[in-house]
A and B are shown apart, each in its own frame.
Chain A
Amino acid sequence: MSFIECKNLSHIYNQGQSNEHIAVENVNLKIEAGEFVAILGTNGSGKSTLAKHFNGLLLPSSGRCLVNGMDTTEEDKMWDIRRQIGMVFQNPDNQIIAAIVEDDVGFGPENIGMEPHEIRRNVTSALRMVDMEEYRNFSPHHLSGGQKQRVAIAGALAMNSKCLVLDEPTAMLDPRGRHEVIDTVNMLNKEKGITIIYITHFMEEAALADRILVMDRGHMIAAGTPREIFQDIGAMKKRGLAVPMAAELAYRLKQKGVKITESVINTKDLVKVLCPSN
């Protein structure tokens, strides 16, 4: 059984009204526990709509979404599903609610009726995991964007979430903040086995995933390893997307007649191709 499975999932906004809009159509996908999956797609391609199905924030108009075998439309399973899957959104200021960091991280656990000693333990371990323990008594408003996003991640971890769905968590951050978040996410995946579903417009971030899913106008049109997905630069551009900078550079060199037969998606690949002594 896959951790998340979508079967013929469609989502239609304003169904039956004049402004009806099919945001996601007939998507089939499986995400295994422990995977790091990136979702790419242009604005309006249905990425966020799809992602909101994974913890039942949205329910399918048709088709099904299963989390650990539980159907998201079964109301009595909803809390169980939400406990397993934490969401982190783009704007850190919209998802922090408490006046002190540790209260914010403890809000979710408290809400589901966790025992106080367990809350305390979870908050401490969650803050430690995202390297924010020293800020536990800070006001969130005095944190940087990257720190706020890590607090938001800690909020999900304190619920013992097994999976994080991150919807463009770095779009508003400066380079340092972006690194903090992506490094944290990568560590949680590799060392703690947390399943990651990561929506982004930054191709360099997507290149870190095990697998990339590409959405286009509501459909899932491609899936594969970063190497497979970023190989076809022409196709990515046609979709309104891009490739990592190193891949773009290799592509342009090839167009100018440089012989590059190996696939290049990162700087390391490029070094191998252009600096043969290494």
Chain B
Amino acid sequence: MSIELKNVSYTYMAKTPFEHLALNDISLTIPEGKITAIAGHTGSGKSTLIQHFNGLLKPDSGVVLVDGTDIGSKNNEAKMARRKVGIAFQYPEHQLFEETIAQDIAFGPKNMGCGPEETDSRVKYAMDFVNLDYNKYADRSPFHLSGGQKRRAAIAGILALKPKYLVLDEPTAGLDPKGRESLMGRILKLHKEEGTTIVLISHNMDDIAQYADNVIILSKGKVLIQASPEEAFSRVDAIHQAGLELPEIKEILNELAAKGLPIENNAYTMEKAVSEILSVLGRQGKC
């Protein structure tokens, strides 16, 4: 099962002087149970694309299938399919609005028609997942949390919907290194323990290298690359053409290789870089 886009195109402000083709005949697959990263520079169509995943935007042409169901249909089945996809937009903390954190997180489940008990249990589950102590925080105002906590509270609001597919747009932007690591840790836990499919929109190529099973690179509303991180990052020219960069660690290794360190240079994560360098130094008897 998967989210599947077939020949999707979308134009903003069609038939006006501002007409802009944001998505141009996009076909792609987000496989269930994996972590898929989507990258592309500003204006490449990422945000427009993810809004198609749960029907917030309807394609001008083409279809969006969630687990085989066309979510553009008007029937109940399509509605249920749309609900499988939860989207946490950029800076989701700007969308906090309730008086207490628990009420804010409960908004979604209530709206979906969950009863009080089910709602309550989902709120507890979601808060636990993002590591916000229910007893301590449930009745506090979300506006008095720190930046990182607000972000987690906002994401908890999406988790309470128990989406099968969780789409996160730049979830770690603006967080400090520790906050970044801790939030990514939580997302990975969700992926491993609940089997939630993760779609990660990110500018951070090192994060993509570390976490993603698949990479989709968008450029000017088209899919430029759809591949494993290894393969994607080996296509340097295409990456640059898309206005992106290689992971920092890859740039470092390239520089070392260019300056004569005989590494294999296949690594694109810190762990693999360390072991590549160690194996060279070991051969040279330097450690």
Give the B-binding residues of A (Cβ under 8 A): 19, 41-44, 90-91, 144-146, 168, 171-178, 201, 203-204, 240-242, 245-246, 248-249, 252-253, 256-259, 267, 270-271, 274-275, 277-278
Cβ of B62 under 8 Å from chain A: no
Whether A174 pairs with B41 at a CB distance below 8 angstroms is yes
**Among B173, B176, B256, B281, contact of A42 (Cβ-Cβ < 8 Å):** B176
Whether B259 pairs with A275 at a CB distance below 8 angstroms is yes
Q: A253-B277, A274-B281 are in contact. List 14 more A-B contacts (CB 8 A).
A: A42-B178, A43-B146, A43-B147, A90-B174, A168-B174, A172-B173, A240-B179, A245-B249, A245-B270, A249-B270, A256-B274, A270-B255, A274-B261, A275-B259
Whether B274 pairs with A240 at a CB distance below 8 angstroms is no
Within 8 A of A (CB), among B156-186: 170, 173-180
Cβ of B144 under 8 Å from chain A: yes
Whether A240 pairs with B259 at a CB distance below 8 angstroms is no
Whether A171 pairs with B243 at a CB distance below 8 angstroms is no
Q: A90-B174, A249-B249, A275-B256 are in contact. Are A43 and B148 (CB under 8 A)?
A: yes
Question: Nearest Cβ in chain B — how far from A169, in angstroms?
Answer: 11
Question: Nearest Cβ in chain B — how far from A61, in angstroms?
Answer: 19
Q: Which residue of B lies closest to A275 (CB)?
A: B259
* A176 vs B270: C-alpha distance when bound (angstroms): 22
**Among B40, B205, B287, contact of A258 (Cβ-Cβ < 8 Å):** B287
Cβ of B251 under 8 Å from chain A: yes
Whether A240 pairs with B245 at a CB distance below 8 angstroms is no
4 tightest Cβ-Cβ pairs between the two chains A and B: A240-B178, A242-B177, A44-B146, A43-B147
Within 8 A of A (CB), among B127-144: 144
Enumerate chain B residues within 8 angstroms of A256, measured Cβ to Cβ.
Answer: 274, 278, 287
Whether B42 pairs with A173 at a CB distance below 8 angstroms is yes
Whether B174 pairs with A172 at a CB distance below 8 angstroms is yes
Among A19, A144, A253, A274, chain B packs the most CB atoms within 10 A around the CB of A274
* A245 vs B144: C-alpha distance when bound (angstroms): 33
Question: Nearest Cβ in chain A — how far from B131, in angstroms?
Answer: 15
Enumerate chain B residues within 8 angstroms of A248, measured Cβ to Cβ.
Answer: 270
Interface size on B, residues (CB 8 A): 42
Whether B259 pairs with A258 at a CB distance below 8 angstroms is no
Enumerate chain B residues within 8 angstroms of A241, measured Cβ to Cβ.
Answer: 176-178
Within 8 A of A (CB), among B197-248: 203, 205-206, 243-245, 248
* A245 vs B187: C-alpha distance when bound (angstroms): 23
Q: Which residue of B lies closest to A148 (CB)?
A: B42
Whether A267 pairs with B177 at a CB distance below 8 angstroms is no
Cβ of B113 under 8 Å from chain A: no
Among B41, B176, B277, B287, chain A packs the most CB atoms within 10 A around the CB of B176
Question: Nearest Cβ in chain B — how far from A171, in angstroms?
Answer: 4
Whether B248 pairs with A277 at a CB distance below 8 angstroms is no
Enumerate chain A residues within 8 angstroms of B273, measured Cβ to Cβ.
Answer: 249
Q: Which residue of A lies closest to B239 (CB)?
A: A175
Enumerate chain B residues within 8 angstroms of A275, measured Cβ to Cβ.
Answer: 256, 259-261
* A14 vs B174: C-alpha distance when bound (angstroms): 25
Whether B245 pairs with A175 at a CB distance below 8 angstroms is yes
Whether A271 pairs with B255 at a CB distance below 8 angstroms is yes
Q: Which residue of B lies closest to A21 (CB)?
A: B144
Whether A201 pairs with B41 at a CB distance below 8 angstroms is no
Cβ of B57 under 8 Å from chain A: no
Among A44, A91, A259, chain B packs the most CB atoms within 10 A around the CB of A44
Question: Nearest Cβ in chain B — how far from A278, in angstroms?
Answer: 5
Q: Which residue of B lies closest to A255 (CB)?
A: B274
Among B178, B249, B278, chain A packs the most CB atoms within 10 A around the CB of B178
Among A42, A177, A257, chain B packs the most CB atoms within 10 A around the CB of A42
Cβ of B252 under 8 Å from chain A: yes
Question: Nearest Cβ in chain B — how far from A173, in angstroms?
Answer: 7
Query: Can you report 16 A-B residue pairs in the complex whose CB atoms are below 8 A from each other?
Result: A42-B179, A44-B148, A168-B174, A174-B42, A175-B243, A176-B244, A201-B176, A240-B179, A245-B206, A248-B270, A256-B274, A259-B286, A267-B252, A270-B255, A274-B277, A275-B259
Enumerate chain B residues within 8 angstroms of A174, measured Cβ to Cβ.
Answer: 40-42, 203, 243-244
Cβ of B43 under 8 Å from chain A: yes
Question: Nearest Cβ in chain A — how far from B281, in angstroms?
Answer: 6
Enumerate chain A residues within 8 angstroms of B176, measured Cβ to Cβ.
Answer: 41-43, 201, 240-241
Whether A257 pairs with B287 at a CB distance below 8 angstroms is yes
Q: Which residue of A lies closest to B174 (CB)?
A: A171
* A274 vs B176: C-alpha distance when bound (angstroms): 30
* A146 vs B203: C-alpha distance when bound (angstroms): 13
Question: Nearest Cβ in chain B — how far from A261, in angstroms?
Answer: 13
* A238 vs B137: C-alpha distance when bound (angstroms): 25
Whether B274 pairs with A253 at a CB distance below 8 angstroms is yes
Q: Which residue of B lies closest to A236 (CB)?
A: B177
**Among B41, B174, B274, contact of A249 (Cβ-Cβ < 8 Å):** B274
Question: Nearest Cβ in chain B — how far from A14, in angstroms?
Answer: 10
